[in-house]
Structure 1
Amino acid sequence: MPATYVIVDGNKRLQFEDGSQCDVVAPLSLDAGANVVLIASQAAILEAIRDGLQELNNTAASTWERIQSASDRTQAITYLDAGTADERINDIVYASASLGLTITETFSYAGSAGNYRLTGTARA
Structure 2
Amino acid sequence: MSNTPPGRTEASDESIQRWSEKYDPEHMSQEEYRAFVDDLVSAGNLSETDKNYIGYSDMVCLGTLEEVASGNSSIAYDANSDVAPYETLMEADGNARSWAAAWCGLVSSDQPNGFLNRRISAFDALSEIFGKMSAAKK
TM-score by length of 1: 0.28
Over alpha carbons, which structure has the higher Rg? 1
Quick one: higher RCO (CA 8 Å, sep 6+), 1 or 2?
2
Q: Which has the higher strand share?
A: 1
